[in-house]
A and B are shown apart, each in its own frame.
Chain A
Amino acid sequence: MTMVQFDRVGKRYPGGKEALSGISFELARGEFAFLTGHSGAGKSTLLKLMMLMERPSRGQVFVDGQNLGRLRAGQIPYLRRKVGVVFQNHQLLFDRSVFDNVALPLQIAGYTPAEAGRRVRAALDSVGLLGMEKRNPIELSGGEQQRVGIARAVVNKPALLLADEPTGNLDPELSAEIMNLFLRFQQVGVTVLIASHDIALIEHMGHRRLILDHGHLHEGQIAGAGGIYG
């Protein structure tokens, strides 16, 4: 049961050098893994390939059994509904309330307001922000905004959750809290991949690590079977 599979994936940005080369690995359904590496190693690029925010120059990417290279433009939105993403720059909309921000994916997916309302409150509750649904995200602290972003990423119950530096700019305590939040999602079956610089926290938490170095994946070969823990 693989959730994500990379098969000899290379990515060269137009006019740039190779951001990724020869990347092969698998993530099992329900697996929890970290993606680490120096700045510019290609972590964000790798995550973007799974959302079709970028397309690989070589190789193939499969998500939930779908070959992303074969997806028509019209199918991309439906792929993205299966994948929740959390970015460091939270990408929240400041012209609407916390509730409306979190409700956006449900509104897009065609939920009735009543059903959406129930799910939004559940998602906000799971990140500990239930009391703040009516606030504007601009009034929230960085950590709170980050948690709104997480609530939005999980509200549609995605099968795959990707996070790019979700704890950047947060203090260690808050970082640990947010990591624990991701663990809770993994415990209920969501596949989670977190790109992070926070080596100390990662070491502390254990779990599988994918390490990128100048576009090359180090544990890729070994990780294929079951991953490296610790």
Chain B
Amino acid sequence: MAEPKNSVKTQAGASLQEIGMRKRLNAWAANHQLVAVETLMRLLSNPLGSLLTWMVIAIALTLPGALWMALDNMEQLSGRFQASGRITLYLTPKATEQQGQQLSDRIAALDSVANTEFIDADTALDDFRDNSGLQAALDFLPENPLPAVILVEPPLGIEQAALLRLIEQLKSYQLVDSVQLDMAWVERLQAMLALAERLIGVLGVLLALAILLVVGNTIRLAIAARVDEIRVVKLVGGTNAYVRRPFLYTGLWYGMVGGLLAWLLLILCWALLNGPVADLAELYGSGFELKPLSAGAAMALLLAAMLLGWLGAWWSVSRHLDHIEP
């Protein structure tokens, strides 16, 4: 009992603890580290208990993630479509039907052309009459005002430069009066992609809210299970920040594990779809391949998941924790 007497003696009047600022800071950092490791261990040591929360987070992240991956690929594809719009060749009035057909066949044989279709002037007029409703007016015309037309379809995914070269080449034919690249449908596609992007954004926000609620609720339960401990900690001088810390870290880890699971699910989606998509693309003569989520996007996904987990915990903690008093 020699040491205890000593230790009791030193208690005389010692109301203020003289711990240096630096020591305090180190202790604070050490506590963060300790709490971070402890909370992670606690979660991992009971994976079944946390599995539901992890899966909800993972699925809520995978859904917009997969859509975003699809959209990203569509945009990449539409970039190629842009260069593969249909080309319409208007032939000079001098061109005979036979000459036009020959030219059409010759163009079809070019490497940079997938397909052609020749429409002679009379057929063009018939089509126009049927579709325009201007039949009466057309009947008044002394002669057919429409030129013969060759529709040229470049292969899917042709390079922009190759397409420009093709257009130059087509213009150089003597029978060709003018060349028109039809881009309207590409523009329509892009408008739809923009809309899809907006929808994914809205979906993402809703699912982010779902994650906040799920993590918030999980943390609420964790708080309820540790009310006694919180009371004691506050009784012996624990600050709100100290009491909050383990719960905030827990939220962070929920987000991280959920984010990692979502990432795995997205890789799985990609692996399942990549084969069929490549096969399909090959049928269309395109070397298109499904791109997986980029490393940057995967990182962003993970960080967003951690942030959401932390926010969910913070929301729950600020609603429930500060009211627990000894």
Contacts and interface: CB of A to CB of B under 8 A. Distances in A.
A82 B16 CA distance: 7
B235 A80 contact: yes
Given A77-B239, A80-B237, A111 B9 contact: no
Contacts of A156: 17, 236-237
Interface residues on A, range: 35 or more
Contacts, number: 107
Interface string A149-183: 00010101111000000000000000000000000
Interface in A116-131: 119, 122-123, 125-126
Interface in B1-60: 1, 3-4, 6-17, 19, 23-24, 26-28, 30-31
Given A111-B27, A112-B30, A81 B237 contact: yes
A178 to B, nearest CB: 15
A48 to B, nearest CB: 9
Contacts of B6: 122
Interface string A193-219: 000000000000000000000000000
A109 B28 CA distance: 9
A29 interface: yes
Contact of B24 (A77, A110, A125, A152): A110
A189 B10 CA distance: 9
B19 A110 contact: yes
Contacts of B16: 82
B7 A91 contact: no
Interface residues of B, number: 38
A85 B7 contact: no
Interface stretch (A32-40, A100-108, A138-146, A220-228): A100-108
A158 B229 contact: no
Contacts of A85: 235
Contacts of B239: 74, 77, 108
Given A77-B238, A108-B242, A110-B19, A157 B14 contact: yes
Contacts of B10: 157, 188
B229 A159 contact: no
Contacts of B280: none
Contacts of A30: 13
B234 A77 contact: yes
Contacts of A77: 234, 237-240, 242
Interface string A73-99: 010011111100100000111010000
A25 interface: no
A108 B233 contact: yes
A93 B231 CA distance: 10
Contacts of B229: 93, 95
B244 to A, nearest CB: 12
A64 interface: yes
B131 to A, nearest CB: 78
Contact of B15 (A82, A95, A109, A110): A82
Contacts of A23: none
Interface in A43-81: 51, 53, 64, 74, 77-81
B7 A53 contact: no
B187 interface: no
Given A108-B233, A110-B31, 13 more contacts: A30-B13, A53-B326, A64-B15, A79-B237, A91-B228, A91-B232, A108-B236, A108-B237, A109-B17, A112-B26, A125-B1, A154-B11, A189-B12
19 contacts: A53-B325, A77-B237, A77-B238, A78-B237, A79-B237, A80-B234, A80-B235, A109-B237, A110-B24, A111-B19, A112-B27, A119-B7, A125-B3, A156-B237, A157-B15, A159-B13, A188-B10, A189-B12, A189-B13
Interface of A: 29-30, 51, 53, 64, 74, 77-82, 85, 91-93, 95, 104-105, 107-113, 119, 122-123, 125-126, 152, 154, 156-159, 184-185, 187-190
